[in-house]
Structure 1
Amino acid sequence: MLTSSKRNSVQENHQHHDLIQSDFLDSYRNLTIKTMVMLEWLAAHCTNAAYVLKIDSVMLVHVPNLVKLLLDPGTAEQNYMTGLVRWHSPVMRDPSNKFYLPTDIIAVPEYPPFPLGRGYVMSLDLPGKILQVSTQIKPIFIEDAYLGMCLKLLGISPTNPPENTMFIVDPVHPLSTCSLSKVIAVTTTSIPQMTGYWETSRGPDAEC
């Protein structure tokens, strides 16, 4: 018997033919596998695109603001990755911590810089480059930190967005109209909240 989630996926794919599936267990510990599958698909099928946005389902995306960022002359067209970048993020050594990793898995005390996995943008030259160097790096289950490790091997650093209000992972709700007018991606707590924020962001008063 299909679960409601699987049933919805079957219906979605039957109607829109827009789901990509791979042969692995979809679990938190396998997020890095999921991310690498995504990069493989992008490298194989999206060579004519310029950028890709990776986003979690809990995130509201303000598409006009995203397009504005990507069309800005100051936005790099290659070796570009942005989002809410974590700099000098320590490797967790406490076994009780959800993100614990022992020194035999990763010896350095902190991760290279990486954008948090809830939402980030990358130029489409990066998937192939990341895949190429990934064979030289022992994978870890923290997928966004793993991408940062791959970027470091490539000699590439992620870029902070022009404004720190563009990617908000831990917002204080409710968000103001001013905040919604600047955001590209923001975490929401429910579908009604996401819908409400989207409607507000499109309204005539959606500005500071």
Structure 2
Amino acid sequence: MFNYLSWQEHHPQLVGPARRGAGQLVQTLFFVGVRPGAGSERLQEQLRLENQQHHDLIQSNFVDSYRNLTIKTMMMLEWMSAHCSTTARFAVKVDSDIFLHIPNLVDLLLRPDTSTSGYMTGLVWWHSPVLRNPGNKFYMPKEVIAEPAYPPYPLGMTYILSLDLPGKILKVSRQIKPIFIEDAYLGMCLKRLHMSPTGPPRDDMFLVDARHPLSPCALSRVIATTTTSMPQMMSYWRRSQQPETHC
């Protein structure tokens, strides 16, 4: 098991120059759990070898499954709180099918109106209803959540948070019964902290149901978008390295 590796054991990558002319250090890490059953030992050895080569895996002892995403999220926050609060200002969580446009992300984080405390943003769902149909994937009974709607939260595809928040969220989470919808649970924690996520400056910065392929204009504006395949994600990455196209 190679969980809770120290920050200094990883190798930061210089990303830049950003459009504002300042290169920024961006650390990429992959958080994983374990997979029980047949093939688990072989998979674990593959992970060990990959981490030995790239030094970018953080693993904890929980079953890595969709229903355990809240456990995974809290593990990530715990690691961030322990290792990142004095070495970085922001963290960005992205799903594995997300293309993240690093220069556009850095531009957002360098804006003078982007707060370095109490800040969380992404594609914010402001009035997401609690679904009561037992046949729905996101069904939640009234005995678990009585309210008809969740507090505001950024969709789990991608969210950005200032690094004063992980410790605060962890503290209040002890008072809130966990649910398996991890992004909605973060919204519940923010509400307990008397905080609310911040909407992005533009709606086209975070795309959950994008029209592919993205146009040059759309790609020049986006920070994060879902993708349908690895080749598509790589295509967006290559295009993002080319001279900028403005709308």
Q: Matched residue pairs, number?
A: 208
For 1:127 and 1:207, the matched residues in 2 are separated by 35
Contact kept? 1:52, 1:123, Cα under 8 Å: yes
Q: Give the match for residue 43 of structure 1.
A: 81
Identity of aligned residues (%): 63
Say which is worse superposed, 7-16 or 95-104, in terms of deviation. 7-16
* Partner amino acid, structure 2, of 1:15: Q
* Partner amino acid, structure 2, of 1:127: P
Cα-Cα RMSD: 1.4
Q: Give the match for residue 69 of structure 1.
A: 108
1:202 deviation in Å?
Answer: 2.4
Q: Give the match for residue 149 of structure 1.
A: 188
Q: Among residues 49, 52, 59, which one is paired with 1:21 in the alignment?
A: 59
Q: Spell out the pairing of 1:108-123 with structure 2 (5 A cutoff).
A: 108-123=147-162
Q: Give the match for residue 144 of structure 2.
A: 105
Contact kept? 1:55, 1:120, Cα under 8 Å: yes
Select the structure with the greater relative contact order (CA < 8 A; seq sep ≥ 6).
1
For 1:11 and 1:166, the matched residues in 2 are separated by 36
Q: Among residues 134, 138, 143, which one is paired with 2:173 in the alignment?
A: 134
* Partner amino acid, structure 1, of 2:69: L
Structure 1 segments of 4 or more deviating over 3 A? Answer: 1-8
* Partner amino acid, structure 2, of 1:171: A
| TM-score normalized by the length of structure 2 | 0.81
Q: Deviation string for 1:112-168 (max 9, x for gaps)?
A: 000000100000000000000001101000000000000001010000100111111
Instruction: Structure 2: give runs of 5+ residues left out of the alignment.
Output: 1-38
Q: Give the match for residue 12 of structure 1.
A: 50
1:57 deviation in Å?
Answer: 1.1
For 1:14 and 1:204, the matched residues in 2 are separated by 35
SS in 2 for 1:23: strand
Q: Give the match for residue 167 of structure 1.
A: 206
1:47 deviation in Å?
Answer: 1.4
Bigger strand fraction: 2
